Structure 1
């Protein structure tokens, strides 16, 4: 079940890293920035550029999704079973408002939605907490780091690896 911490995390950050595997067991991890919570046991994301994720879900519906608050280094790991709801599916119209209310400009790119039924939801935290570091300490440290990165990389473009 999705507890209050997980709900707040997903609703504020929206970004989850989805891990899947193909028929041969080869892994794929893909960031998805349109996560929503449908109910206590169901999350989903709008599918836009996910050919490998969709292909993997078609043969192996088991997924793991990692959500992390990058400032406090706390998160959740969700395991579940995923299914794809394409635009021409009868369920699409009832799911659509949940996503278009948040991201109306992206709706033309949606090919459908990936719906994940939760099997488990476990908390994650950096080992720094074991040493007595607080959320406030980490938040201050990483906010400064983000400021430093923005100064260094201001105006940088994404390049091919």
Structure 2
């Protein structure tokens, strides 16, 4: 991963592909009291060669933490490939303005959904490290891993849907 003159890294093609494939990432921040906080984020996107962003939709804790401690880490993993990246860097919050408007437009344009966005979190990536499942010790390559987990996900999703039906939360017609 090449660093540029500012100290941020340049996102590689593979990093970009993993980010685009991820439906969810996890944001690690630190509370004002110094305690760890981990929060799921479902709108991660690439901003440019050095930045990623997500929409702050329902994240008052993350927003409060970043206002005090702007350094954070995002973990992004492709669920089927069971690999991804840890992105560490400095964040900025944008509650209005050009960055806010453009980021909201990007996500709404892709997802065709309107969210009550409080702010946009823009992360300048200073470090990135790969995340790779130990499952690769037993599986030949990434295509085999994806096939194995695609098959397994069907059973896991069916099991969870059955659980939801028992709870009366979810109705599935098969």
TM range (shorter): 0.7 to 0.9
1:97-127 superposed Cα distances (whole Å, 9 cap, x missing partner): 22221134233x1112111111112211112
Q: Is the 8 A contact 1:19 1:29 kept in 2?
A: yes
Q: Is the 8 A contact 2:22 2:79 kept in 1?
A: no
Unaligned runs of 5+ in 2: 1-9, 169-174
| CA 130–148 in structure 1, closer or farther in 2 if over 3 Å, else same | closer
Residue of structure 2 in register with 1:137 after alignment: 144
Distance 1:50 1:122 in 2: 25
| CA 132–144 in structure 1, closer or farther in 2 if over 3 Å, else same | closer
Deviating beyond 4 angstroms after TM superposition, the runs of 4 or more aligned structure 1 residues are none
Distance 1:68 1:19 in 2: 14
Residue of structure 2 in register with 1:98 after alignment: 106
Q: Is the 8 A contact 1:14 1:36 kept in 2?
A: no
1:9-158 to 2 correspondences below 5 Å:
9-87=18-96, 89=97, 91-107=99-115, 109-131=116-138, 133-154=140-161, 156=164
Q: Is the 8 A contact 2:43 2:55 kept in 1?
A: yes
Distance 2:148 2:89 in 1: 33
**Larger CA deviation: 141-150 vs 129-138:** 129-138
Unaligned runs of 5+ in 1: none
Distance 2:61 2:104 in 1: 23
| CA 146–91 in structure 1, closer or farther in 2 if over 3 Å, else same | closer
Distance 2:109 2:73 in 1: 26
* Equivalenced residues, count: 157
Q: TM-score, with normalisation over the residues of structure 1?
A: 0.87
RMSD: 2.1
